[in-house]
Structure 1
Amino acid sequence: GNQFLEEIEILESIRAVMDFDADILDQEFTLGDDKQFDEVQKELDLCNQLMPVAPAPGAIPALNLKKGTTTLAFRFAKGIIVCVDSRASSGQYVASSTVQKVIEINDRLLGTMAGGAADCQFWERVLGRECRLWELRNKHKITVSAASKILANITYSYRGRGLSMGTMVAGWDKHGPNLFYVDSEGTRLNSNLFSVGSGSIYAYGVLDQGYDWEMSVEDAIDLGRRAIYHATHRDAGSGGWINLYHVHENGWTKISRDDCNDLHWGPYGRKP
């Protein structure tokens, strides 16, 4: 009751300040009447800014469950290591411990998932289709840069509509190994090393200490696995299995799938 009356008073005061005449909305505009149309559009835009949409009285607020994950990828002289955990969480509830967070886009490209699982899975499948169509049209393999640009263009066109994505696109093309980060705001970044997710701060600590461009493949594999393990040990939103891939000149290879608990009580855990 009181809230409704207050909203009416606010709306009336806005109209008084703007000299807003609702009857103008019923007028028909000709194709040449652009000036009159622009004036009405400005008034409507100002009204929308001053009166943001509010939920109806008594409406149940939407659930905003926290998500957690840890994904990483880094480029070095002999390729790219992509390593992820497998836990899907909804707030304090662990929804799954066997999520495949590496999306195999094609035989030379990999994508990772962080954020909303459905958003990442769907749009990276769309990216796989777009890459295949691009290759059929152009008669050669798409570059990692072009593939990441396609995904960034898609996410930018949907910005502000509720997408939740923090992905990495990794692959080997005619320019060598390449790695990009793309998120749901349309951001697209190129670098040698990325980690995304709630556990990324822990993974970065291990990666920054051990990363070396000239490292061997074996050392790179151990570094990626160790970084994800320490993130899962400290971050409640990360855990499950550690899936590790190596991107090389001939495509990509899935190297291992390790249980975090086995690593904790094995090579990486604290000794009593």
Structure 2
Amino acid sequence: MQNTYAVVDDERGFSFRNCRRNQNLISSGFKPPNVTKTGTTICGVIYKDGVVLGCDTRTTNGHIVWEKCCEKIYKIQENIHVAGAGTAADMDAMVKLMRANAEFHRLNTNRKIIPVSYLKTITSRMFFRYGGAISCHFIIGGFDHKGPHIFIVHKEGSSMKLPYATMGSGGYIAMSIFESRWKPDLEEHEAKELVADAITAGIVNDLGSGSNVDLCIIKKNSSEKIYAYRKIGVSGIKVLDYNIRRGTTGVDLKAIKKIDVDIIEEKVVKMNI
């Protein structure tokens, strides 16, 4: 009899043995669980003197906006910050592991700052170890002895070094801003506006992204977070007083106009019920 159960072995790399099991389960009538879609727009760019990371602040649960002021840029070391997209619980656990591993490496090597590539490597290995089961992605930005760096790490473990990067459900929209306006050796104010415009494009065109634009500027000897650098979709100012007494309705304008009506034809029709 063919084995249709999960197989656990010590082989390195990806294993696709469970694909046949899943196919047999679905063909026998098993209904797979629904996937909950999350939405985020994160991006980062290298400029003349450092790195600028940006993110939106909306947290979603399916079609429900769960929180409007969520923090998606995390400090790993003084010289390294990461912007995350994906499932909040997985992201929180991964950030704790990244912080712990980075601090252990700093203490073991007696360094003041650790290389950004080291954090990229250990993060990529952790993702690869679980074969894509950890549902989150990261843009790693930092400054070390080799200068500013931006790395992207996908949940399958693949990674890449880029001059600018976007991720999340609004990432493709934000990428259009970078591809049309990015140039080498950006000034700090240009980089901040470019990242803010990219996140704004994601917020405006992606339903999973929203609220404010948060930025993080990482330089050689310092880092700074700017919360609500730009606010999108601010509520308007109330015009009327909504404290209305019971039995009344407040109106902004009252006008009575007499309308003359001529009855041309009147006919009574009896209906059978």
Q: TM-score, normalised by structure 2?
A: 0.74
Q: CA deviation at 1:49?
A: 6.6
Aligned residue number for residue 54 of structure 2 = 83
Q: Distance in 1 between matches of 2:221 and 2:49?
A: 12
Aligned residue number for residue 153 of structure 1 = 125
Q: Distance in 2 between matches of 1:63 and 1:98?
A: 27
1:124 maps to 2:104: no
**Which structure: greater helix fraction?**
1
What are the within-5 Å matches in structure 2 for residues 98-177 of structure 1? Answer: 98-140=69-111, 141-160=113-132, 162-177=133-148
Aligned residue number for residue 22 of structure 1 = none
CA RMSD of aligned residues (A): 2.6
What are the within-5 Å matches in structure 2 for residues 108-257 of structure 1? Answer: 108-140=79-111, 141-160=113-132, 162-257=133-228
Q: CA deviation at 1:90?
A: 2.1
Task: Please identify the structure whose Cα radius of gyration is greater.
Answer: 2
What are the within-5 Å matches in structure 2 for residues 63-78 of structure 1? Answer: 63-78=34-49
Cα 1:128–1:48 shift into 2, 3 Å: closer
1:95 maps to 2:66: yes
Cα 1:50–1:84 shift into 2, 3 Å: closer
Using the aligned pairs only, state the percent identity.
23
Deviations 1:118-137 (CA, angstroms, capped at 9, x unpaired): 11121111111111111111
> Which amino acid in the other structure matches residue 66 of structure 2?
A
Query: Where does the alignment leave 5 or more consecutive residues of structure 1 unmatched?
Result: 1-10, 16-44, 265-272
Number of residue-to-residue matches in the alignment? 222
Q: Distance in 2 between matches of 1:120 and 1:131?
A: 16
Cα 1:49–1:177 shift into 2, 3 Å: closer
SS in structure 2 opposite 1:180?
strand
Check whether the contact 1:109–1:251 (CA below 8 A) recurs between aligned residues: no
Q: TM-score, normalised by structure 1?
A: 0.75
Match of 2:232 among 235, 257, 260: 260
Q: CA deviation at 1:214?
A: 2.0
Query: Where does the alignment leave 5 or more consecutive residues of structure 2 unmatched?
Result: 4-14, 237-273
Q: Distance in 1 between matches of 2:65 and 2:123?
A: 29
Q: Distance in 2 between matches of 1:117 and 1:109?
A: 20
Q: Distance in 2 between matches of 1:216 and 1:93?
A: 38
Q: Distance in 1 between matches of 2:16 and 2:181?
A: 54
> Which amino acid in the other structure matches residue 154 of structure 1?
M
Cα 1:210–1:95 shift into 2, 3 Å: same
Q: Distance in 2 between matches of 1:187 and 1:76?
A: 24
